[in-house]
């Protein structure tokens, strides 16, 4: 049995590969890694969990393994969003963090996100080290060290805590709640049954905004949908906006590290537009500067804004760990990706849907203009830009290396009537067109699917690019 870490940790189907026995093996490898890297006699690790089936039990099991290895485990009292748990790693000066979640994956999945001491996802070399330790332990038939939960509590090796308030206090230093309050916005917060429930209501409780939360109750099956804040899963949010005549709808994924939004008409505002709007707000309204970092699958509206503001722009592979690496080594103003994970200067290098939702509210309030008008403005300024993604299920694993070689060799000279001016292989294969449109084909790092992404200047061009991408992907 081989357990491998993907784009952001290890994910697998509950009761298939994601079992208590396998989780204990992974936890032991993490404990061994922490022991190797930490100079402390009793290193500390933060352990959190989301609302998925058995997540609380899995987290307790991880804490028991940490305790069995003499590592103090700070275990959250209840489900919490990933960014809150990640911030707790920094706040408590812990050696690492473990978050039990499968993020936006379907309900049958669960997973482990490994967090480094700096509060972001473990860097690739750190994750590979844990994988190697896991393999070595299995070769030597070395099982996990596990301590009784009650005994670990009694000995002070497991502490229960609430990460919310230190996280909220930190966010108040990154967001101007006075500006948001002055907007007196009516907000619908859609938790999608995930662990960011109550976050927007708590943060905005002392403002003049009115917040109503939907899908905030405990539902480990996520109401039969994927807890991913994309248009096809947000019909409930759209209905609630219309019913309440709300100004903005904010949706977070299963563990709160991604954001999606809707305007007052119930129209979906994707992460590309959120990225562009918040970037413009930070530069023009707040006077902030720094490098702009985006993943390879993210809008080039951001590139055009960065050029306008004379800001450096960096493109990375998909996965927030790559953006985190840049945030640790550069003066980054904002970093984000197509899936809705973003962070800004002053925050931990971690995707944070709650922070980005609050910043979007701040941008709307500061402009005194409805969200749909802001979207129209950004389209005029740095558009037009039309985006879509299609996910093609994989029946059998594919070789990413072979796929990249084939798609590079078979690269067309023209697409949708435009010249192909560049072929990039940062992550998958990306065809760049003369009019700044693009097509990207890459295997997912978290699910058994092949993803086809495209951004174009017209809806018609977009359909041509997606159709060609599907044809190339299925060949």
Q: Please indicate, yes or no, whether residues 138 and 197 belong to a single structural domain of this protein.
A: no
Query: How large is the average pLDDT for residues 250-279?
Result: 97
Query: How large is the average pLDDT for residues 160-174?
Result: 97
Least Cα distance to 101 among 223, 163, 193, 38 occurs for 193
| % of the chain at pLDDT higher than 70 | 99
C-alpha span between 80 and 62 (Å, rounded)? 16
Q: Please indicate, yes or no, whether residues 57 and 186 belong to a single structural domain of this protein.
A: no
pLDDT(197) > 80 = yes
Average pLDDT of the residues of the chain: 95
Least Cα distance to 263 among 124, 378, 165, 149 occurs for 378
Helix or strand holding residue 155 (H, E): helix 149-155
Query: How large is the average pLDDT for residues 277-284?
Result: 98
Q: Is residue 58 part of a domain?
A: yes
Alpha carbons within 13 A on the beta-carbon side of 179: 19
Q: Please indicate, yes or no, whether residues 159 and 184 belong to a single structural domain of this protein.
A: no
Q: Please indicate, yes or no, whether residues 365 and 232 belong to a single structural domain of this protein.
A: yes
Model confidence pLDDT, tens digit, residues 342-375: 999 999 999 999 999 999 999 999 999 999 999 9
Q: Please indicate, yes or no, whether residues 316 and 412 belong to a single structural domain of this protein.
A: no
Q: Please indicate, yes or no, whether residues 134 and 229 belong to a single structural domain of this protein.
A: no
Model confidence pLDDT, tens digit, residues 93-130: 999 999 999 999 999 999 999 999 999 999 888 999 99
Least Cα distance to 279 among 271, 319, 200 occurs for 271
Q: Which of 154-163, 192-201, 369-378, 397-406 has the lowest mean pLDDT?
A: 397-406
Q: Please indicate, yes or no, whether residues 314 and 226 belong to a single structural domain of this protein.
A: yes
The last residue of one of the domains, among 346, 366, 382, is 382
The last residue of one of the domains, among 382, 397, 426, is 382
Q: Is residue 2 part of a domain?
A: no
175 Ramachandran zone, left/alpha/beta (phi>0; psi -120 to 50): beta
User: What's the CATH code of the domain at 399?
Assistant: 3.30.310.50
Q: Please indicate, yes or no, whether residues 215 and 349 belong to a single structural domain of this protein.
A: yes
- Res 311: pLDDT: 98
pTM of the full predicted structure? 0.95
Q: How many structural domains are present in the chain?
A: 3
**Cβ pair 455, 462 in contact under 8 A:** yes
Q: Please indicate, yes or no, whether residues 323 and 451 belong to a single structural domain of this protein.
A: no
| DSSP, res 293 | E
User: What's the CATH code of the domain at 86?
Assistant: 3.40.120.10
Q: Is residue 3 part of a domain?
A: no
Surface-to-core class of residue 186, CB atoms within 10 Å of its CB (0-12 exposed, 13-18 middle, 19+ buried): middle
Domain that holds residue 46: 10-164
187: which strand partners?
211, 248
pLDDT(160) > 80 = yes
- Res 7: pLDDT: 62
Q: Kindly list the distances between the CA atom of residue 149 and the CA atoms of 68, 154, 359, 399, 471, in Å, as whole numbers in the listed order.
A: 10, 9, 40, 43, 54
Q: Please indicate, yes or no, whether residues 146 and 186 belong to a single structural domain of this protein.
A: no
Q: How confident is the model at residue 1 (pLDDT cuts 50, 70, 90)?
A: low
The last residue of one of the domains, among 322, 353, 382, is 382
Q: Is residue 338 part of a domain?
A: yes
Query: How large is the average pLDDT for residues 384-402?
Result: 89
Which residue stretches of 173-234 are H helix?
Answer: 177-183, 199-203
Q: Please indicate, yes or no, whether residues 99 and 188 belong to a single structural domain of this protein.
A: no
Query: How large is the average pLDDT for residues 209-236?
Result: 96
Query: How large is the average pLDDT for residues 77-82?
Result: 98
């Amino acid at each position: 049995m081989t357990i491998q870490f993907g784009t952001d940790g290890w994910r697998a189907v509950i009761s298939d590969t994601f079992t208590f026995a396998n989780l204990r093996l992974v936890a032991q490898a993490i404990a061994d890694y922490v022991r190797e890297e930490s100079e402390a006699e009793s290193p500390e690790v933060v352990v959190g969990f989301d609302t998925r089936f058995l997540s609380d039990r899995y987290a307790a099991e991880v804490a028991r393994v940490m305790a069995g290895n003499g590592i103090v485990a700070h275990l959250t009292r209840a489900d919490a969003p990933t960014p809150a748990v990640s911030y707790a790693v920094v706040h408590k000066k812990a050696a690492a963090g473990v978050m039990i979640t499968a993020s936006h994956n379907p309900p049958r999945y669960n997973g482990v996100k490994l967090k480094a001491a700096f509060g972001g996802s473990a860097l690739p070399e750190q994750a590979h080290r844990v994988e190697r330790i896991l393999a070595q332990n299995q070769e030597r038939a070395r099982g996990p060290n596990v301590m009784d939960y009650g005994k670990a509590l009694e000995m002070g090796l497991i502490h229960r805590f609430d990460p919310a308030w230190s996280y909220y206090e930190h966010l108040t230093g990154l967001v101007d709640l006075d500006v948001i309050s002055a907007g007196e916005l009516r907000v619908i917060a859609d938790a999608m049954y995930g662990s960011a429930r109550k976050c927007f209501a708590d943060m905005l409780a002392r403002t003049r905004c009115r917040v109503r939360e939907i899908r905030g109750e405990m539902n480990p099956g996520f109401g039969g949908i994927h807890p991913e804040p994309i248009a096809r899963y947000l019909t409930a949010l759209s209905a609630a906006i219309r019913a309440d005549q709300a100004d903005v709808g904010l949706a977070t994924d299963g563990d709160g590290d991604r954001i999606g939004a809707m305007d007052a008409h119930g129209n979906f505002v994707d992460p590309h537009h959120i990225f562009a709007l918040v970037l413009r707000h930070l530069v023009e309204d707040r006077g902030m500067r720094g490098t702009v970092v985006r993943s390879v699958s993210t809008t080039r509206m951001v590139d055009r804004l960065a050029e306008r503001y004379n800001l450096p722009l960096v493109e990375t592979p998909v996965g927030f760990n790559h953006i985190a690496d840049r945030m640790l080594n550069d003066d980054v103003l904002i970093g984000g990706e197509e899936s809705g994970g973003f962070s800004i200067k002053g925050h931990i290098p971690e995707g944070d849907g709650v922070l980005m939702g609050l910043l979007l509210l701040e941008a709307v309030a500061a402009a005194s203009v409805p969200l749909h008008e802001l979207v129209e403005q950004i389209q005029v300024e740095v558009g037009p830009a039309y985006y879509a993604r299609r996910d093609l299920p994989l029946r059998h694993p594919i070789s990413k290396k072979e796929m990249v070689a084939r798609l590079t060799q078979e690269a067309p000279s023209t697409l949708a009537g435009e010249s192909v001016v560049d072929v990039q292989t940062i992550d998958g294969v990306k065809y760049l067109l003369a009019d700044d449109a693009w097509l990207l084909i890459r295997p997912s790092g978290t699910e058994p699917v092949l993803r086809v992404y495209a951004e174009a200047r017209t809806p018609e061009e977009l359909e041509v690019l997606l159709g060609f991408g599907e044809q190339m992907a299925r060949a």
